[in-house]
Amino acid sequence: MGGLGRPYLYLLGSIFYSNYQIKGVAARGISLVGAMAIIEGTVERITFRNEDNFYTVFKLLASTGDLHTCVGNLPRIVVGEELKLFGEWTKHEQYGLQFNTETAIPCTPTTTLGIERYLGSGLIKGIGPSTAKKLVEKFGLKTLDIISNEPHRLTEVEGIGEKKGEIIAKAFLEQKDIQDVMVFLQGNGITPTYAVKIFKVYGKESVQIVQENPYRLADDIFGIGFKTADTIAKNIGFKEDDPHRIRAGIRYALGQAIEQGHTYLPDEELIKTASELLGVDVKKDFLAELGKAKQLIIEEDRCYLPSLYEAECNVAQRLKELTRYVPSLPFDLSIESEFKLAPEQEQAVKAAMQEKVLVITGGPGTGKTTITKVVLTMWEKAGFKILLGSPTGRAAKRLAEATGRPAKTIHRLLEYGFGNGGMSFQRNEDNRLKGDALVLDEFSMVDIRLMDSLLKATDDKMRLLFIGDCDQLPAVGPGNVLKDLIASNRIPVVRLTKVYRQAEQSQIVMNAHRINQGYFPEINNQGDFVFMERKEPKEIATLILDLVSSRLPSHIEKRFNLSDPLDAIQVLTPMRRSETGVDNLNRLLQARLNPAGKKNEIQLGYRLLREGDKVMQIRNNYQKDVYNGDIGRITRIDPEERLLEVLYNDENGDRLVNYEEEEIDELTLAYAISVHKSQGSEYPIVVMPVTTQHYMLLQRNLLYTGITRAKKLVILIGTKKALFLCIKNNKTSARYSYLANRLQEE
């Protein structure tokens, strides 16, 4: 079966043998759970098979006569097939001892019985048990060679005509393609899960594509980044200065900048970054090459990915088109008096009546919600059809609760779904939103790509009201849309600064404003703002565990009228990797809040997920209608089928979402999340470490954003020195964006 040839398979097998035998593990070392091992035998029975991800549970009859349970992501295997398996023995809590297969090398059956069982398994279209028996009776041990190399001879068998012979030969070769691809990919250090993804994208051309340009994997396969593709390239002999590598490295360097929020990089900075990344001297000529191939857009000294250049230009052009004059609506003083507007709020409402596009920005307690309610009431009185939206499900749900009107996420407003030959926003320049006005809350979270899609779908006559806090962290995605609109001086802006009486009673609100103005917070630990001083990171982590698992839950229902501590309490932290970072705190909190027991769990790489875990989606999945930052709870895990089910709660209420094995890497634990990921959300209680261990990320707007996520109680844990450094550092990370300049251009 192995189309790469038996010498190749022998060499590959020898490499694996040497690697495993160095560890001193014999093929029959089944008592060594977790140790690398090799077993060989015949597939006796297939217990379970998932055709989407190739996850298989099967019985292998070893040459020793033992019958083993084996599992793994494998290309199609059949009863009677002889395999050499590389992997490790594991002890499953429910199913006992089983062999976890990492690589499977097909071996040509060596007996006529093995060949007959293999062909009669139903694997090859046109061959059933009866035909398999006739083939083996006619050709004996040469049967597989004849099907592969001399298919015209199949007509020598009774009942096989020329057409049926062609069908059999074609099906046999297709199956051989799958085996060849999987052996090649796994032999070059690609895990079975990624090998399956690659085969599903490229099919039988997988080997050729990977050999010609493995860097394509970083563009085409989710989960395989440049570094993984670079490792594969080195394994198959690519040199450090290979043009494919340099071009991919430049695009990767630009992609990394985009992940940090930039829409472009200056050419000199891009060359410097790419050279450091690749360890070679990158010439400017490569930028010109990529520009000529339309893989980069170079405008003066600015280097863009084409999609971001187009988005930035579109947003600027569309906003200019939409800001044409609109006659003002009458300002109804009876509505104004009902809500008792202050002068600053009245100015904001008047502006909303007069302007086609308006930005209202302000911190907590400045009356943004009150203004929104007044504007909505007045627009409704004028007969307007109004749409309400927010970037996230939680924010949309909060907007709906605050205004008493339905609200949706921007993605749902734009109706993402199947159309025009693929998945895309169904609301666009050819099918625009129907309405007279659109209100978008938490506008600081909107990146340049989403803004582009939104404006394409906006009707020329529609009014736009953008509401957000420009002092919060900018969007996770590329661009700095809210600040750019304000900085351009071309879009009308109302800035709210006064904190109103009811909000003044909250220490969270008052201290958030103090911090935003560069002052140290007032700390008396008597209200809703608490600071607990601890110096050592280990002490801080221990206190967080204690608070979240026992001290806070015991008071939550009584003091805050909340029933579910897991939903009520959110740990926010500036960093991912440190003792008080996201990864370590999640590991500790999972062990404390949802310990191992009789619950099903699934391990994928470093990720261990368990039924009952609090998890977060970390990329937009439009087909499932879940988005980056959505938080839910795992309700069920099926370890055999390798799938899990997550319960989400958003503006549409509770809903269950299923994940196949290859999609599980879109989830991560969410007992602790980064401050960036918390944008647009509010939590009853926020617990947040502030330590000099996070020195590189101690920025005022990060602390301000974290504090303003809390509705009822915020607890900061750390040192006053770290808090002081954070407040004094108002140097927010600059983002390369040209939107403000484009808006200023005539």
Q: What is the pLDDT of residue 30?
A: 42
Q: What is the pLDDT of residue 501?
A: 59
pLDDT value at 7 more than 70: no
CB burial class (10 A; 0-12, 13-18, 19+) of residue 619? middle
CA distances 499 to 299, 350, 364, Å, are: 44, 20, 8
Residue 671 and residue 593 in contact, taking contact as beta carbons nearer than 8 Å: yes
**Across-strand partners of 571?**
672, 687
Section 25-39 average pLDDT: 54
Residue 571 and residue 673 in contact, taking contact as beta carbons nearer than 8 Å: yes
Q: 729 vs 688, which has greater pLDDT? A: 688
* Tally of CB atoms within 10 A around 99: 23
Q: What is the pLDDT of residue 123?
A: 61
Lowest model confidence (mean pLDDT) among 17-31, 328-342, 367-381, 699-713: 17-31
Q: What is the pLDDT of residue 300?
A: 92
Which amino acid, one-letter code, is at 69?
T
pLDDT value at 567 more than 70: yes
Q: What is the pLDDT of residue 18?
A: 32
CB burial class (10 A; 0-12, 13-18, 19+) of residue 710? buried
Pairwise CA distance, residues 262 & 138, whole Å: 68
Q: 487 vs 623, which has greater pLDDT? A: 487
Helix/strand/coil for 598:
coil
Q: What is the pLDDT of residue 186?
A: 65
* Tally of CB atoms within 10 A around 288: 13
**What token pair was written down for 446?**
């909107």
69 band by pLDDT with thresholds 50, 70 and 90: very high
CA distances 224 to 227, 259, 554, 663, 666, Å, are: 8, 16, 44, 13, 13
Pairwise CA distance, residues 128 & 666, whole Å: 41
Q: What is the pLDDT of residue 64?
A: 81
pLDDT value at 562 more than 90: no
pLDDT over 70, % of the chain = 88
218 band by pLDDT with thresholds 50, 70 and 90: confident
Which amino acid, one-letter code, is at 620?
N
Lowest model confidence (mean pLDDT) among 24-38, 40-54, 422-436: 24-38
Burial 162-180 (b: 16+ CB within 10 A, else e): eebbebbbebbeebbbbbb
Q: What is the pLDDT of residue 273?
A: 92
**What token pair was written down for 382?**
């004028």
Pairwise CA distance, residues 203 & 174, whole Å: 10
Lowest model confidence (mean pLDDT) among 574-578, 582-586, 638-642, 741-745: 638-642
Q: What is the pLDDT of residue 547?
A: 93
Task: Tell me the chain's radius of gyration from C-alpha atoms.
Answer: 31
Residue 368 and residue 497 in contact, taking contact as beta carbons nearer than 8 Å: no
Q: 32 vs 187, which has greater pLDDT? A: 187
In this predicted model, what pLDDT tens digit does every residue of 143-175 receive, in sequence order? 888 888 888 899 998 888 888 888 888 877 776
Helix/strand/coil for 578:
coil
In this predicted model, what pLDDT tens digit does every residue of 85-110 receive, in sequence order? 888 888 877 778 899 988 777 776 77
In this predicted model, what pLDDT tens digit does every residue of 500-542 receive, in sequence order? 756 567 889 999 989 988 889 888 888 889 999 998 999 999 9
Tokens 């907007």 belong to which residue? 399
4 band by pLDDT with thresholds 50, 70 and 90: very low
Residue 379 and residue 436 in contact, taking contact as beta carbons nearer than 8 Å: yes
Section 292-298 average pLDDT: 91
In this predicted model, what pLDDT tens digit does every residue of 127-139 receive, in sequence order? 878 888 899 999 9
191 band by pLDDT with thresholds 50, 70 and 90: low
Section 713-731 average pLDDT: 88
Q: 52 vs 393, which has greater pLDDT? A: 393
Which amino acid, one-letter code, is at 430?
D
Q: Report the relative pairing of strands 643-650 and 653-659 from DSSP bridges.
A: antiparallel
478 band by pLDDT with thresholds 50, 70 and 90: very high
| Size of the chain, expressed as the number of residues it contains | 746
Pairwise CA distance, residues 193 & 64, whole Å: 30
Those residues whose C-beta lies under 8 Å from the C-beta of residue 551, and which sit 6 or more positions away, are none
Pairwise CA distance, residues 227 & 279, whole Å: 13
**Across-strand partners of 690?**
718
Residue 206 sits at the vertex; the CA angle it makes with 205 and 210, to the nearest 5 degrees, is 120
In this predicted model, what pLDDT tens digit does every residue of 245-283 receive, in sequence order? 888 889 889 988 998 889 999 999 999 999 998 888 888
Section 270-298 average pLDDT: 90
Q: 603 vs 693, which has greater pLDDT? A: 603
In this predicted model, what pLDDT tens digit does every residue of 303-326 receive, in sequence order? 999 999 999 999 999 999 998 877
Pairwise CA distance, residues 126 & 159, whole Å: 11
Element (H, E) at 632: strand 631-638
Tell me, letter by letter, the H, E, C secondary structure of 485-503: HHHHCCCCEEEECCCCHHH
- Measured between its terminal Cα atoms, the distance across the chain in Å is 67
Q: What is the pLDDT of residue 14?
A: 33
Q: 332 vs 473, which has greater pLDDT? A: 473
CA distances 603 to 561, 609, 630, 661, 664, Å, are: 36, 6, 21, 10, 10
Q: For 154, list phi and psi in degrees, rounded to 5.
A: -60, -25
Residue 688 and residue 714 in contact, taking contact as beta carbons nearer than 8 Å: yes
Q: What is the pLDDT of residue 652?
A: 72
* DSSP per residue, 102-168: EEEEEE---SHHHHHHHHTTS-STT--HHHHHHHHHHHGGGHHHHHHH-GGGGGGSTT--HHHHHHH
Q: What is the pLDDT of residue 235?
A: 79
Tokens 């409402």 belong to which residue? 349
Residue 413 is given by DSSP the state H
Q: Name the average pLDDT for the chain.
A: 83
Q: 459 vs 184, which has greater pLDDT? A: 459
21 band by pLDDT with thresholds 50, 70 and 90: very low
pLDDT value at 231 more than 90: no
Q: What is the pLDDT of residue 606?
A: 65
pLDDT value at 700 more than 80: yes
